[in-house]
Structure 1
Amino acid sequence: MTDSSAPAAPVDVFAKVRGHERAEQLAAAREANLLPYFHVQDSPALPVVTMEGAEKIQLGSNNYLGLTSDPRVIAAAHGAIDAYGTGLTGSRLLNGTIPLHVQLEEEIADWMGTEEAIVYSTGHQANVGALGTILAPGDTVVADSGDHASILDGCLLSKAKLRPFRHNKLDKLEKQLQRAQGDGGGVLVVVDGVFSMEGDIAPLPEIAALCERYGARLMVDEAHGAGVLGARGAGTSELLGVEEQVDLRMGTFSKSLASCGGFIAGSHEVVEYLRISSRSFLFTASAVPAAVGAALAALRIVRSDEGPALTGAVLDNGRYLRQGLEDLGYAVLQPQRVNPAGAPETDIVTPIVTVTVGDDWKAVLLWRALFDAGVFVNTALHPAVPPSGAALRTSVMATHSREHLDRALEIFGRVKRDFEAEHGELPGPDLHR
């Protein structure tokens, strides 16, 4: 007889790490030297970098304005270390706030046109901290399916009811807002201003109008828009003239602001609540002084007379690369027609230019061929993109010259010819028309 009171055989909590759905693919990619991740860059994030001993044209960096190598930003990071040391060894609540934090928050709020701003140690913490604090069980959050993973993490942490809608589909957003009317709590819509994988822009005027109609608050993640779009470089909300209708704006320092960290900008009452309630702000170490000093210096460059020239250069480079890739027969998104605030209707191409490939293995093989030929791009596979939506994500900097981009396009053309001769045709431009 068996003893029914005996404990059941224990389940190893680590069992899930063995034989997971990606294990075979990962092993096969490693064996074939096709793994597109964790490659070591041996130089600063310049337009041309050294990776594992060879030069590559860097088309995989979010250093949109090229400020990580600006002497003034580097000097500010050094100056912060000299003044405050290498780390603050405590949270902002306790001993981790220095004058640079206060200055940076004041200048971000002024830049964003909001009452206040709060700085987090990372952009991920900013989204998780804001959403996980503002939302609560009983509330509803309506999120675009293309939103960044940190937004989803914050929504899940909050335990609010999550109602996702198909990427940039306004009819689907409205349907979810209608359903949320019966949920009983507060409603927050949260979208990326510029979507990190696709590179396209959220239709914020229409989204803001729907929020107003249904009594929902609106939060916009400007991680990839701040420093790039708008006359002040303040992001998609500024570009599209809806700053007054957006309740919260999030941004990062790890893109245009050449550092690491994140912020939430909004009303005094919301920011004050986050300061005393947001766990990812209260219970994490303050950003190191070098990061804060660098971000402040970069922000001041963006807000100076140099800012519009940098913004113009990176957008011109995005347009040039997108058109060049389309001319070569790659599947890239068409420019978006937008109505900027106070300006004529125009077409916008952001610094993110994504090439749709479809099949995961084709994407990895194409990435490897480009890498070996001297171009580094990012590979996006499911779940970062929808199933069968594997893509190569390229991104440009203001400091890329036409020579850099022309050389990259020549490599893209040569690689495509050779690749299709061996592996069959890639999706063409008609995919996105």
Structure 2
Amino acid sequence: MSDKTPRPQLAHLTAQLEDLRQRGTHFKLRVLDDEQAPVCTYDGKRVINLASNNYLGLCNHPKLREAAIAATKKYGVGSGAVRTIAGTMHIHMELEEKIAAFKGVEACVVFQSGFTANAGTVSSILGKEDFILSDELNHASIIDGARLSRAKIKVFRHKDIAHAEDLLKEIQHEPGRKLLITDGVFSMDGDIGPVDKLCDLADQYGAIMMVDDAHASGVLGRNGRGSVDHFHCTQRVDVQVGTLSKAIGALGGYVCGSRDLIDYLYHRARPFLFSTSHPPSVAATCIAAFDLLEIEPERIQRLWDNTNYFKQQLTAAGFDTGGRTTPASETPITPILIGDGRATMDFSRSLFQAGLMATGIAFPTVPEGKARIRTIMTSEHTREQIDQALEILITVARKMNILPA
């Protein structure tokens, strides 16, 4: 056997990759050559970027750059350990206090990612005798955390309050705690979770209320405080999860709630216990970002102005942006529904060649038959860039018979 002959132990992976190629949904990673911006360079090609989570343009904001450089000069490039051993720096505590004050809660703990924040929290606060009631379209990190907890999982139809209540009624006399959990904004369809109505159910049935606000942070609520603030439910949600990797422009996730919740997570959340803490530069950039949310609310207004214009123009052109066979988008996440996975990925590749970065999403990320181009608007796109993106979308869609010629 030569050095280049594949080992048979992983032949099943090769077969599955070949299946993806046959379906037309196999992809290669696009590589960014410069900074994350409304117009940037991927794989050497200049494109309008409608694929980034950089909602408010903070990835490359001068104040965040300055904060990162200053923290690196003062503290170095790494923290050297997990938080519970030797890796908790003053700047980590400052960030947690900043977020807690911003959210209007007692305390906060920062995780290495939004995924670990969700998975680590759900899996640590519940056990096998407990119940989790989860929206069917909740993020993968919630699903994984639920499985790791070994709790009994009940899934309610998307945003279906009556179905959620039926499930709560079924288990209300069962021993064990009940956790009711939803995304604040659903990442594939861009619709907003019914946080207020689910809080009513949690209050009525004594359930723990948890909201994953990853795509609502920096987008909804006062100065971007999220869907919990948007629905005036800060004091009714027991566990708020957010991200530092999207609108905040850096990296990480966080959990907000009571001081006892956060102290418990310090002791029991496995990603917190077994992962090295953030580099000081990342903590510093996040602190600067929360300051900007307070002093530059016009960024969020620009985001919504751009979003509303873009949605109107897509609808006028005849694109299916949700509301027919999928939930209607209510946020800067706007899907363009195609349906077939191969056609969707071909459309995405053709858009890229025409100068537009717009990601194709197919099974298993979304159900079969509901593949889509997911577009995300930012505050930093100019009207000229948006119009150019729309022109590319319409022209390519007509060529590919996605829209009538």
Smaller-chain TM-score bracket: over 0.9
- In structure 1, distance between residues paired with 2:223 and 2:123: 30
Determine if contact 2:186/2:215 at 8 Å carries over to the other structure.
yes
Per-residue deviation, residues 214-246 of structure 1 (Å, max 9, x unmatched): 111110011110111112310011111111111
- In structure 2, distance between residues paired with 1:201 and 1:88: 37
- In structure 1, distance between residues paired with 2:132 and 2:330: 29
SS at match of 2:15: coil
Q: CA deviation at 1:348?
A: 8.4
- In structure 1, distance between residues paired with 2:107 and 2:160: 31
Indicate the residue corresponding to 2:91 in structure 1.
100
Q: Is 1:113 the equivalent of 2:94?
A: no
Indicate the residue corresponding to 1:388 in structure 2.
369
Indicate the residue corresponding to 2:54 in structure 1.
63
The one-letter amino acid of 1:325's match is L
The counterpart of 1:149, out of the listed 140, 150, 164, is 140
The one-letter amino acid of 1:77's match is A
Indicate the residue corresponding to 1:349 in structure 2.
330
TM-score of the pair, normalised by structure 2: 0.93
Determine if contact 2:20/2:26 at 8 Å carries over to the other structure.
no
Q: Is 1:17 the equivalent of 2:13?
A: yes
The one-letter amino acid of 1:231's match is R
Indicate the residue corresponding to 2:352 in structure 1.
371
Q: CA deviation at 1:28?
A: 6.7
SS at match of 1:137: coil
The counterpart of 1:415, out of the listed 389, 396, 402, is 396
Per-residue deviation, residues 311-361 of structure 1 (Å, max 9, x unmatched): 1111111111111111111101369xxxxxxxxxxx983111111111101
Determine if contact 2:394/2:403 at 8 Å carries over to the other structure.
no
Question: Please, what is the CA RMSD of the aligned residues?
Answer: 1.9
Q: Is 1:169 the equivalent of 2:160?
A: yes
Residue pairs, 1:218-257, within 5 angstroms: 218-257=209-248
Q: Is 1:324 the equivalent of 2:313?
A: yes
Q: CA deviation at 1:179?
A: 2.1
- In structure 1, distance between residues paired with 2:399 and 2:231: 42
Query: Identity across aligned pairs (percent)?
Result: 36
Determine if contact 2:96/2:107 at 8 Å carries over to the other structure.
yes
Residue pairs, 1:1-16, within 5 angstroms: 14=10, 16=12
- In structure 1, distance between residues paired with 2:100 and 2:303: 24
Determine if contact 1:101/1:292 at 8 Å carries over to the other structure.
yes
The one-letter amino acid of 2:96's match is E
Q: CA deviation at 1:426?
A: 5.7
How many residues are matched? 394
Determine if contact 1:66/1:397 at 8 Å carries over to the other structure.
yes
Determine if contact 1:64/1:256 at 8 Å carries over to the other structure.
yes
Determine if contact 2:321/2:329 at 8 Å carries over to the other structure.
no
The counterpart of 1:136, out of the listed 108, 120, 127, is 127
Indicate the residue corresponding to 1:4 in structure 2.
none
Q: CA deviation at 1:180?
A: 2.5
- In structure 1, distance between residues paired with 2:399 and 2:381: 26
- In structure 2, distance between residues paired with 1:377 and 1:86: 34
The one-letter amino acid of 1:315's match is W
Provide structure 1 residue ranges, at least 5 long, that are not aligned to the other structure: 1-11, 336-346, 428-433
Q: Is 1:197 the equivalent of 2:192?
A: no
TM-score of the pair, normalised by structure 1: 0.87
Go from structure 1 to structure 2 and tell me whether the alpha carbon gap of 1:281 and 1:404 turns closer, same or farther (over 3 Å shift): same
Determine if contact 1:360/1:388 at 8 Å carries over to the other structure.
yes
Indicate the residue corresponding to 2:301 in structure 1.
312
Higher mean C-alpha displacement, 245-254 vs 290-299: 290-299
- In structure 2, distance between residues paired with 1:179 and 1:82: 57
